[in-house]
């Protein structure tokens, strides 16, 4: 059975001068057929804008933010599968020589995933663990227990090696560390972000936020795993995928900006109850 999810955002940034901006905030192009209803992107004040597809297949909004405040908002209803992330305890690793071209690049180091710094540690921890799903689960269990989550620990420049040393982080740090350890073990791993509501789990009283998780290549496909929550979840809606957070920033400005408003929502919904964004 599928579920309807109402999701969206209201974000305001302030720039001191006209500034080029790229934003990745809306569901991935793969989900275009899942869109039931949408307000479309609302931009205040209205400025010329366009979307393009980046090398990773993500939809990017491009515009020039004026000096002063600019607000971006969108309210959508999306239909997705109502079952949790699909795991397969029998899934096996591929030898590097058998990996498809699309997965091979996700073995390499990237801005926040320093495989060169973590290689020895990864093999010490997981070299004797049975390869395949067992090894992947061991990595995610380790990251989940090694790091302490807290919004107060957020730091945009923290790398996987730094998170491992500091033992704290937010969801992107959990993802970066798990990705790095998998890559060190020759398991392709990529970074994903998107919407994840409290569907099928106890409500979290913290304000809603975007989430980051991982996609791991085993056998012949990508599997979704989440080192922070560390269990299959219902209702993930992917925004973008890349090597790490560098490739898919929610908002990237080519000059300084201040975030002056941030609101995100992701809730199970019914089409009959879809009031306009307030």
Choices 2.60.40.2250, 3.40.50.300, 3.40.1710.10, 3.30.70.260: CATH for 2-82+250-269: 2.60.40.2250
The alpha carbon of residue 220 and the mean position of all alpha carbons in its chain are separated, in whole angstroms, by: 22
Q: Is the whole-model pTM more than 0.85? A: yes
Strands 237-242, 221-225: pairing kind: unpaired
Please state, in angstroms and rounded to a whole number, the distance separating the CA atoms of residues 22 and 18: 13
The CATH code of the domain at 96-234 is 3.10.620.30
Domain boundaries, the chain: 2-82+250-269, 96-234
- Residue-level pLDDT at 273: 53
Backbone angles phi and psi of 152, in degrees to 5: -70, -15
- pLDDT single digits (tens) 137-146: 999 999 999 9
On whether the CB atoms of residues 60 and 24 are closer than 8 A, the answer is yes
Q: Cα–Cα–Cα angle for 77, 82, 85, nearest 5°?
A: 115
On whether the CB atoms of residues 26 and 266 are closer than 8 A, the answer is no
Q: Residue 271 — very low, low, confident or very high, per pLDDT cuts 50/70/90?
A: low
Identical fold between 2-82+250-269 and 96-234: no
- pLDDT single digits (tens) 55-76: 999 999 999 999 999 999 999 9
On whether the CB atoms of residues 241 and 58 are closer than 8 A, the answer is yes
Please state, in angstroms and rounded to a whole number, the distance separating the CA atoms of residues 57 and 51: 12
265-271: average pLDDT: 85
Please state, in angstroms and rounded to a whole number, the distance separating the CA atoms of residues 127 and 267: 41
Higher per-residue pLDDT: 207 or 13: 13
Of 10-14, 136-140, 164-168, 206-210, the range with the lowest mean pLDDT is 206-210
């Amino acid at each position: 059975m599928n579920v309807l999810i109402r999701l969206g955002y209201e974000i305001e940034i302030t720039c001191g001068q006209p500034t080029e901006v790229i934003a990745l905030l809306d569901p991935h192009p793969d989900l275009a057929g899942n869109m039931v209803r949408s307000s479309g992107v609302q931009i205040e004040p209205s400025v010329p804008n366009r979307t393009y597809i980046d090398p990773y297949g993500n939809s990017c909004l491009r515009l020039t933010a004026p000096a002063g405040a600019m607000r971006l908002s969108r309210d959508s209803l999306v239909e997705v599968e109502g079952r949790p992330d699909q795991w397969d305890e029998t899934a096996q690793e591929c030898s590097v020589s058998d990996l498809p071209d699309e997965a091979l690049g996700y073995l390499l180091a990237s801005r926040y995933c320093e495989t060169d710094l973590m290689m020895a540690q990864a093999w010490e921890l997981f070299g004797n663990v049975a390869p395949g799903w067992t090894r992947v689960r061991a990595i995610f269990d380790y990251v989940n227990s090694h790091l302490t989550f807290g919004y107060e620990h957020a730091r945009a420049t923290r790398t996987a090696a730094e998170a491992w040393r500091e033992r704290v982080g937010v969801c992107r740090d959990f993802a970066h560390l798990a990705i790095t350890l998998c890559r060190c073990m020759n398991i392709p791993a990529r970074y994903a972000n998107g919407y994840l509501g409290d569907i099928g789990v106890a409500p979290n009283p913290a304000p809603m936020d975007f989430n980051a998780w991982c996609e791991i290549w085993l056998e012949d496909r990508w599997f979704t795993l989440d080192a922070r929550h560390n269990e299959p979840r219902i209702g993930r809606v992917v925004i973008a995928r890349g090597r790490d957070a560098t490739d898919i920033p929610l908002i990237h400005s080519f000059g300084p900006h201040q975030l002056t408003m941030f609101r995100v929502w992701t809730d199970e919904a019914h089409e009959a109850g879809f009031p306009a964004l307030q």
